């Protein structure tokens, strides 16, 4: 419905409607959280970044000129906030994001399905651990590209626009991220990115 | 075969993020965040800009009503209380209706009581004697009961009294 387009809601939010901005938050919250989680791999930090992003965007809404889609602009802010958070944490060592062993916030609680085959369940658990291990070996920038491409389905151009980088950089980061993921999970990766 | 395995890896990666996003903690935090910062604005009548002055006006009204001097009490609408007019207070010289002040004038204001013309000669020949006149609903209605609680009631209705 045209009345619910992002651009119209942004215009209403600029005019002071918190309710309109609330609709935008409701619409994009999971995507921003997923993006943050893809970069940080930590639930609480990702939730903090998500809320911080929405508050920052609301405060800076006047700066949005409408040259790109609101979604692209929002994701750019989210990715940058998540990367900044990751670097900040790394420098201050306030949270050890690389320690998988005793951090309950790292992965969501998964209740095993009683109908599921135990072997299949074990394989999924092993796969999840492998993914976490692989993600920990990637830089925040590579994780951001991987998340935008594989989870959000962004094109190379959209990723380049969102992250303010060249398309060639997008391709190389994506190639390295995919290869690392595959290697850790025991799959030889020689596929060309293109 | 190789591509299929890589596709499986990427599919697992997407599933990994999907699980994280659909976590119940994330849902509840989103709900709390929206409620705390971007809840829908209330109906305009319940917004503070309208509601607070309305409450203040109501408070002032009731405060004023409780503090107003008794001599100004007539400015408030008050239901008429039962006014009992004793026989000795009747004034025949006015004929049909008598304007009378109740005993509690200082508290309850002015009450108008309609009183029929008392005719002692007529009353002497009747088994029932008028002793009291009560006004319960205002000056337009007066009813009379007999002294011995015999279930006989005489009601006069004075339209526009």
Identify from A29, A42, A48 which residue to disrupt to test chain B contact, counting B C-beta atoms within 10 A and taking the largest count: A29
CA distance B45 to B15: 47
Residues 6+ apart with CB under 8 A from A110: B19
> In the beta sheet, which residues pair with residue B133?
B85
* pLDDT for res A81: 93
pLDDT tens per residue, range A62-90: 888 888 888 888 988 999 999 889 888 76
pLDDT tens per residue, range A7-66: 889 988 888 888 888 999 999 999 999 999 999 988 999 999 999 999 999 998 888 888
Task: Write out chain A in H/E/C secondary structure.
Answer: CHHHCHHHHHHHHHCCCHHHHHHHHHHHHHHHHHHHHHHHCCHHHHHHHHHHHHHHHHHCHHHCCCCCCHHHHHHHHHHHHHHHHHHHHHHHCCCCCCCCCCCCCCCCCCCCCCCCCHHHHHHHHHHHHHHHHHHHCCCHHHHHHHHHHHHCCCCHHHHHHHHCCCHHHHHHHHHHHHHHHHHHCCCCCCCCCC
Residues 6+ apart with CB under 8 A from A190: B2
Q: Which pLDDT band, with edges at 50, 70 and 90, does B25 fall under?
A: very high
CB contact under 8 A, A21 and B26: no
* pLDDT for res B8: 81
Residue A32 near residue A46 (C-beta atoms within 8 A): no
Higher pLDDT, A109 or B11: B11
Residue A145 near residue A175 (C-beta atoms within 8 A): no
Q: In the predicted model, is pLDDT for residue A106 greater than 80?
A: no
* pLDDT for res B51: 80
Q: In the predicted model, is pLDDT for residue B99 greater than 80?
A: no
In the sheet that B133-135 helps form, which strands lie side by side, from edge to edge?
Answer: B83-85, B133-135, B141-145, B153-157
* pLDDT for res A49: 94
Q: In chain A, which residue's Cα lies nearest the Cα of B1? A: A187
Q: What is the CATH number of domain A2-184?
A: 1.10.1740.10
Q: Which pLDDT band, with edges at 50, 70 and 90, does B9 fall under?
A: confident
Flag whether residue B41 sits within 8 Å of chain A, measured between CB atoms.
yes
Higher pLDDT, B75 or B84: B75
Task: Give the mean model confidence (pLDDT) for residues A113-118.
Answer: 65
* pLDDT for res B133: 59
Which of A22, A182, A185 has its CB closest to that of B34? A22
Which of B6, B21, B33 has its CB closest to that of A51? B33
Q: Which pLDDT band, with edges at 50, 70 and 90, does B71 fall under?
A: low
Which of B2, B16, B33 has its CB closest to that of A131? B16
Q: Which residue in this structure is represented by tokens 């025949």?
A: B92
CB contact under 8 A, A22 and B2: no
Task: Give the mean model confidence (pLDDT) for residues B41-65.
Answer: 79
Question: Would you put residue A93 in left (φ > 0), alpha (ψ -120 to 50) or beta?
Answer: left
Window from A183-187, B2-6, B21-25 with minimum mean pLDDT: B2-6
A146: chain B residues, CB-CB within 8 Å: 13
Q: The tokens of A75 are what?
A: 């994701």
Q: Which pLDDT band, with edges at 50, 70 and 90, does B148 fall under?
A: low
pLDDT tens per residue, range A120-148: 777 777 778 888 888 888 888 899 999 99
Cα dihedral B95, B99, B103, B105 in deg (nearest 10):
-170
Domain boundaries, chain A: 2-184
* pLDDT for res B120: 62
Residue A193 near residue B10 (C-beta atoms within 8 A): no
B18: chain A residues, CB-CB within 8 Å: 34
CA distance A187 to B3: 10
Percent of chain B with pLDDT over 70: 36
Residue A188 near residue B2 (C-beta atoms within 8 A): yes
ipTM for the complex shown: 0.77
CA distance A5 to A24: 9
């Amino acid at each position: 419905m045209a009345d619910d387009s992002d651009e119209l809601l942004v215009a209403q939010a600029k005019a002071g409607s918190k309710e309109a901005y609330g609709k935008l938050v409701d619409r994009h919250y999971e995507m921003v959280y997923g993006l943050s989680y893809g970069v940080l791999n930590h639930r609480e930090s990702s939730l903090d970044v998500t809320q911080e992003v929405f508050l920052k965007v609301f405060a800076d809404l006047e700066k949005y000129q409408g040259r790109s889609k609101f979604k692209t602009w929002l994701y750019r802010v989210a990715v940058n906030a998540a990367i900044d958070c990751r670097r900040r944490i790394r420098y201050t060592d306030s949270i050890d994001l690389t320690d998988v062993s005793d951090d309950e916030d790292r992965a969501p609680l998964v209740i095993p399905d009683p109908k599921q085959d135990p072997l299949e369940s074990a394989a999924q658990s092993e796969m999840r651990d492998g993914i976490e291990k692989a993600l920990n070996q990637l830089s925040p920038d590579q994780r951001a590209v991987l998340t935008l491409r594989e989870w959000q389905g962004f094109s190379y151009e959209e990723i380049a626009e969102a992250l303010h980088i060249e398309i060639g950089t997008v391709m190389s980061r994506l190639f390295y991220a995919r290869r690392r993921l595959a290697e850790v999970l025991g799959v030889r990766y020689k596929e060309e990115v293109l | 075969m190789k591509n299929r395995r890589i596709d499986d890896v990427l599919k697992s990666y997407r599933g990994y993020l999907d699980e994280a996003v659909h976590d119940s903690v994330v849902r509840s935090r989103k709900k709390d965040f929206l409620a705390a910062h971007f809840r829908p604005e209330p109906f305009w009548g319940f917004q503070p800009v309208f509601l607070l002055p309305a409450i203040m006006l109501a408070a002032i009204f009731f405060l004023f009503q409780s503090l107003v001097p008794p001599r100004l009490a007539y400015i408030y609408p008050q239901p008429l209380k039962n006014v009992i007019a004793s026989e000795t207070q009747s004034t025949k010289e006015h004929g049909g209706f008598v304007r009378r002040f109740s005993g509690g004038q200082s508290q309850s204001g002015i009450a108008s009581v309609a009183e029929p013309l008392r005719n002692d000669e007529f009353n002497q020949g009747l088994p029932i004697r008028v002793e009291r006149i009560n006004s319960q609903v205002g000056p337009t209605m007066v009813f009379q009961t007999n002294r011995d609680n015999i279930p006989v009631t005489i009601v006069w209705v004075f339209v526009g009294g």
